[in-house]
């Protein structure tokens, strides 16, 4: 069964060089995550956005926060050292769309330097209805949305709160707003030529049995790929006492869901400042390089 849509030639060509969207690409092409988005607008029970932890590899971790100008300088330096760098991703350590002005400026500065650069965003999707049109206008063709459930009662066990339109919401109300915005945003992006990858954190006893329903729903909305990931119990998070999801269970879930949509199987659950091939993070080699180039302090806590 062919569960992947046929892509327009131009989009297929650039996606073939995206290491997250193409299994073959991840052995050949490098990506660079720019940690320019420090603020987050939701509280996930599995998350602890701890900075300056160079030996820890999981989403939300970074050893520096870059200004847009520092991000441009670092991109130039990394590209010089890694000619196979094809993708600049913005994956935190907070949420890309909760820091939209910084993200837009970073994209504009790098695009002015390297028009061929491919950009990719990761988001929880809360602000997609607001910023989806700007994402399309900017020419960003790859967006990853983390969708852990489509039922508010389940979401209430995963998310502590959301910050939305100047108010804080919790419980099922928060989850309902988040899920509604995610669904609307995914559909909009897919209908406007953006390839949407869906990340799903598999949390045994909470959302594991619900994942096939999530996959079927996002497929109907136009998602291109799903990435079912194990829970990494982060110290200091509400879920720190939970066990890490067994990879055999993750693989079994991917097998169940592959009949509906293509599955990503090579995810490394990268840091927000990862650099290089997916299987060989070189970020330590480039740490503090921007400060040396510009005399700029690039690390700060929000």
Question: What integer pLDDT is reported at residue 118 of this predicted model?
Answer: 87
Q: Is 302 a member of any domain?
A: no
Number of domains in the chain: 1
Question: What integer pLDDT is reported at residue 265 of this predicted model?
Answer: 61
Its pTM stands at: 0.85
Provide the residue range defining the domain that includes 269.
10-291
The CATH number given to whatever domain includes residue 275 is 3.20.20.70
Q: Is 24 a member of any domain?
A: yes
Question: What integer pLDDT is reported at residue 48 of this predicted model?
Answer: 74
Per-block average pLDDT, block size 10, for the chain (302 residues)? 58 60 58 89 83 51 80 88 85 91 94 88 96 95 95 96 96 97 97 94 93 96 92 81 88 92 67 69 61 47 40
Q: Is 4 a member of any domain?
A: no
Annotate the chain with DSSP letters as a single string.
Answer: ---SPPPPHHHHHHHTT-TTT-TGGGGT-EEEE---B---SEEETT----BS-TT--STT-BS----HHHHHHHHHHHHHH-TTEEEEEE--BS-GGGGHHHHHHHHHHHHHH-TT-EEEEEE-STTHHHHHHHHHHTT--EEEEE---S-HHHHHHHEEEEEETTEEEEHHHHHHHHHHHHHHHHHHHHHTT-EEEEEEEE-TTTTGGGHHHHHHHHHHHT--EEEEEE----TTSTTTTSPPPPHHHHHHHHHHHTTTS-B--------TT-EEETTEE-HHHHTTHHHHHH--------
Q: Is 209 a member of any domain?
A: yes
Question: What integer pLDDT is reported at residue 266 of this predicted model?
Answer: 54
Q: Is 297 a member of any domain?
A: no
Question: What integer pLDDT is reported at residue 55 of this predicted model?
Answer: 47
Q: Is 32 a member of any domain?
A: yes
Q: Is 301 a member of any domain?
A: no
């Amino acid at each position: 069964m062919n569960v992947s849509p046929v892509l327009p030639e131009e989009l297929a060509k650039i996606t073939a060089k995206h290491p997250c969207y193409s299994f073959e690409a991840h052995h050949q092409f490098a990506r660079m995550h720019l940690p320019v988005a420090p603020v987050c607008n939701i509280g996930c029970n599995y998350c602890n956005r701890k900075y300056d932890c160079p030996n820890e590899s999981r989403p939300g971790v970074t050893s520096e926060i870059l200004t847009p100008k520092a991000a441009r300088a670092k991109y130039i330096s990394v590209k010089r050292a890694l000619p196979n760098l094809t993708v600049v991703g913005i994956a935190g350590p907070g949420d890309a769309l909760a820091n939209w002005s910084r993200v837009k400026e970073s994209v504009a500065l790098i695009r002015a330097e390297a028009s061929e650069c491919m950009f990719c965003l990761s988001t929880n999707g809360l602000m997609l209805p607001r910023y989806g049109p700007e994402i399309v206008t900017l020419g960003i063709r790859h967006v990853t949305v983390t969708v852990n459930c489509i039922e508010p009662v389940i979401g209430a066990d995963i998310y502590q709160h959301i910050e939305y339109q100047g108010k804080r919401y919790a419980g099922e109300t928060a989850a309902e707003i988040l899920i509604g915005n995610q669904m609307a945003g995914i559909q909009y992006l897919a209908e406007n030529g953006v390839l949407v990858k869906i990340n799903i954190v598999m949390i045994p006893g909470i959302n594991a049995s619900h994942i096939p329903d999530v996959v079927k729903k996002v497929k109907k909305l136009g998602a291109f790929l799903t990435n079912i990931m194990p829970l990494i119990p982060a110290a200091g998070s509400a879920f720190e006492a939970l066990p890490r999801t067994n990879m055999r269970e993750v693989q079994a879930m991917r097998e169940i869901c592959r009949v509906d949509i293509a599955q990503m199987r090579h995810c490394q659950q990268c840091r927000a400042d990862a650099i290089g091939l997916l299987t060989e993070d070189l970020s330590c080699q480039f740490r503090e390089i921007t400060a040396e180039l510009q005399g700029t302090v690039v690390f700060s806590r929000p």
